[in-house]
Structure 1
Amino acid sequence: MTHVAPNLFMRSQPRLLLPALSALWNQRQNRNFLLHFRYTSDVAAGENKATVQSLYELSVDIKKIRRLKPWVLSKEVTHVKETAKILQEMGADKSSVAYIFERCPEAILCSPTDIHYQRELWLSVCQNEKQLVELIKRFPDSFFTVKNYENQKANISFFKDLGLKNAVISRLLTSASNIFYNPVAKNKHMIETLQSNYIRLGGSQENMKNWMMKLLSQNPFILLNSSAAVEENLGFFQKNKFTDFEVLSLLSKLKGFVFQLNPSSMQNSLLFSKNIFKCSDHELKELIIKCPALLYYSVPVLEERLEGLLKVGISVDQIKQTPAVLELSAEIVQYRIKKLDAIGYSLKGRTLEYLNGTKKDFEVTYGKIQEKKERPIFNPVAPLNIED
């Protein structure tokens, strides 16, 4: 029987390879760990350790701040504990404080003195500190943007004297805080410009205050415009032969947004609508009064919305009869048309009024159509099935 010598090389190869592979794998893992450690160290290298520790103690998610505004953590001077204490004195619980710091990391850079001034300022138009805390949670950036304190204080007094209610002023503070940084003289001049033009266009002295209050509550950003822009845009309407009454109507319908446009863009929108609907100057004015969006939206937006309607079988004549449908985005229009199609209601050849309105308006209309479709037809000569 032939004896075969064992192949020592073949048997020992796996034993030799396993340690080698294991060492290689460990080497790669160590390198990855070092790279990760080096990256983590680099991220946190410039951070203020005391700031980070104070935020951790308040259960603040540091990762969110590092993603949002990491530079805040590197500031040498911060006021984490002091700011947290002031918020807690106002009634904010620990989770609310953490939420505010995560939403607005710059809050920890405000000095206690500045926050004290902001607290007093905002309380002058808030019902109580509970409401103030809720406003800060919703609009922390507005509250912790501390600048032009004297201007803010003067403008609050000015708006109160003008007749704006505290609820409206607090809404302006949170949504349009920039108007409070203006010198009060600038806001006053803008108000006077609007008032004088309202009277000139035929508005009554008795209704002027209500008109102004409504305008400011709907679009406070109007105060960021210049009086020259107002006069220029009003001149555009005169040039295009809009009557004073029509201009006043547009100002009310557009909530003052017309002053944020410019004559060039409005002219382009007018020409686009005139070409699409093939109408006279008089008809065009009527369309604009019915649907100010034809004036407000740019040509690319109008083109997109028009194409969306045409793609689903709506005709230009239908749109001309109900131009307000162009105030809706293409997505909203398609969604509403699909819902109506699903219950067997086609808009082809019909009015587009059912598409208009807010979401709530449409749902009410849709419900009525659906109810009408499902209602059984009553036959007056059919025998009644009445049990004795």
Structure 2
Amino acid sequence: MLRVTTASLCTYCQRIKFSLNPVAPFSKVTSTNNRLENPHTIEALYKLSVDIGKVRKFKSWVLSETSAYVSEIADMLRDMGADSSLIASILQNHPEAILCRPQDIKAQKNLWMSVCATDRELISIIEKFPAAFFMMSHHENQHANIVYLQSLGLCKRIIGKVMASAPQSFSQPVQRNKEVLHTLRETYLELGGDECNLRVWLQKLLGHNPFILLWPAAAWRDGLCFLTDQGFTKEEILSLVSCLRASIAELQPETMHQTLSFFEQVLDCSKEELKQIVLCCPAILSFPLPSLVQRFYGLMDIGLNTEQIKECPAVLELTTQMVLYRMQKLASCGYDTHSGSLDILVGSKRDFDMICGMLQQRHQKTMVNTTTSLRSVEE
């Protein structure tokens, strides 16, 4: 006789099975910890339309915990404006949430509401970053970091974005974040930045790269010292830091040195020319060297030359396939990239399509005028 397990039943069959016996069908031993699942947890999640199978596959240990607060967490999310499908999605993607005590969740909500304007804004963050919100073990550090960043005059939106995108930075002691931000402040002022614009500058860095607080202050100093040794002025370094959105801290001096050495060799340029290339396209410092090598020789293979790349290094930000596609599209509009500037290749898709549209109109007009002139000559 064929034996059908609960896991193999379709959703409709599961509903019938559940109506006959709401607890027993879902009780099983988890494969990871050899513990029996909590039938009350299974029942509560099932009523919320959570995909039990996915929870079992990725976070089966949650289902065997003795204490779970499924209905309480669901009610909290519902009170903030989450509908049934969103509640099911959050608990399915981050089932650990049901293990948080209601009093802890209440305290966590109060903490997050200090940087969120409305419940709807907070539920939107929870939807995208549930792990960040349901991180209960570092509540005191989170609170201290919020207070510190608010004391710097940073807006709530930026603080909330960093908390959601890089929760580890708020879990660490506030002193570490103070050291990093103090280094950033010193860097900005030493490089010629204005104290009046410091807050705006910091907000831009944090907004573009929420992970900058995770890098130690020493990493910043190493990167800046390397750029100074390469002959960049204070103004130029400040420009690079701003353009790279603080990723200078993520770059190893040795890696940057290898990148600069490669381009100095293949482009046969002087130190000053190399500096200008970097200032025109700071992104080449942040790309992995193997990717840059592949892109450079890829451009050579499709007929471009080193002088063109010197004049427009930003073309290296595009993949070879994208460059080739855009070259072919421009050719159909009557533009020859082999003899013209490559600046026309770079930029957003919207800008490129707009340029192609104008070139196409001009090309068609030229073709019409040429045809008219030939007819006149023949007549």
Q: Is 1:249 aligned with 2:239?
A: yes
1:293 and 2:283 matched: yes
Shift of 1:278: 0.7
Give the Å deviation of 1:74.
2.5
Structure 1 segments unaligned to the other structure (5+ residues): 1-29, 383-388
Residues 30 and 61 in structure 2, CA contact (< 8 A), matched pair in contact too = no
Instruction: Answer yes or no: is the 8 Å Cα contact 2:108–2:133 preserved in 1.
Output: yes
**Contact 1:233–1:259, Cα closer than 8 Å, also in 2:** yes
**2:16 maps to which residue?**
none
Give how far 1:313 is off.
2.1
Query: Partner residue of 2:359?
Result: 369
User: How many Å apart are 1:260 and its aligned residue?
Assistant: 0.9
- CA-to-aligned-CA distance 1:267-286 (integer Å, 9 cap, x gap): 11111111111111111111
**1:273-312 map, 5 Å:** 273-312=263-302
Matched, 1:192 2:182: yes
1:207 corresponds to 2:185:
no
Are 2:261 and 1:268 equivalent residues in the alignment? no
Q: Partner of 2:187: helix, strand, or coil?
A: helix
Partners of 1:296 and 1:121 in 2: how far apart? 35
Matching residue's letter, 1:308: G
- Is contact 2:78–2:87 with CA below 8 Å preserved after alignment? yes
Shift of 1:156: 1.2
- Please state how far the C-alpha of 1:205 moved relative to its aligned partner: 2.4
Q: Distance in 2 between matches of 1:194 and 1:221?
A: 14
Q: What corresponds to 1:170 in structure 2?
A: 160
Q: Single out whichever of 204-213 and 110-119 deviates more from structure 2.
A: 204-213
Q: Give the TM-score normalised by the residue count of structure 2.
A: 0.85
Match in the other structure for 1:52: 42
8 Å contact from structure 1 (residues 179, 221) kept in 2: yes
* Distance 1:363-1:88 versus aligned 2 partners, 3 A rule: same
The correspondence for 2:326, drawn from 324, 333, 336, is 336
Superposed, 1:1-388 pairs within 5 Å as: 30=1, 33=2, 37=5, 46-375=36-365
5+ residue gaps, structure 2, are 9-27, 374-379
CA drift of 1:62 comes to 1.4
Q: 1:174 deviation in Å? A: 1.3
Q: How many residues align?
A: 349
How has the CA–CA distance of structure 1 residues 262 and 342 changed in structure 2, closer, same or farther, with 3 Å as cutoff?
A: same
Q: Does structure 1 retain, via aligned residues, the 8 Å contact 2:7–2:53?
A: no
Q: Indicate if the aligned counterparts of 1:230 and 1:259 stay in contact, CA closer than 8 A.
A: yes
Instruction: Report the CA distance shift for 1:197/1:39 in structure 2 as closer, same or farther (over 3 A).
Output: closer
Matched residues in 2 for 1:332 and 1:71: separation? Answer: 45
Q: Report if the CA contact (8 A) 1:273-1:294 is conserved.
A: no
- Which amino acid in the other structure matches residue 246 of structure 2? G
Q: CA deviation at 1:182?
A: 2.1
| 1:364 partner amino acid | M
Q: CA deviation at 1:55?
A: 0.7
Identity score, percent? 40
Q: Cα gap change, 1:113/1:329 in structure 2, threshold over 3 Å: closer, same or farther? A: farther
CA displacement at 1:344 relative to structure 2: 4.3
2:270 is aligned with what amino acid?
S
TM-score with structure 1 length normalisation?
Answer: 0.83
Distance in 2 (CA, whole Å) between partners of 1:69 and 1:342 is 54
Q: Considering only aligned residues, what root-mean-square deviation do their CA atoms show, in Å?
A: 2.4
Q: 1:12 is matched with which residue?
A: none
Equivalent-residue separation in structure 2 for 1:145 and 1:331 (angstroms): 42
Aligned position for 1:24: none
Cα distance per residue 1:347-370 (max 9 Å; x no partner): 222211122122332232233223
CA deviation profile, 1:178-230 (whole Å, cap 9, x unmatched) = 21112222212211111112222222223323222222222232211112111
Compute the displacement of 1:39 (Å): 8.8
Conserved 8 A contact 2:97-2:134 = yes
Q: Per the alignment, in what secondary structure is the counterpart of residue 127 of structure 1?
A: coil
Match for 1:299: what amino acid?
L
Give 3-state SS (helix, strand or coil) of 1:125's partner.
coil
Distance in 2 between the 1:113 and 1:305 partners?
54
Distance of 2:246 and 2:51 partners within structure 1: 42
The answer to whether the Cα contact below 8 Å between 1:318 and 1:349 also exists between their aligned partners in 2 is no
Q: AA paired with 2:350?
A: K
Larger Rg, first or second structure (1 or 2): 1
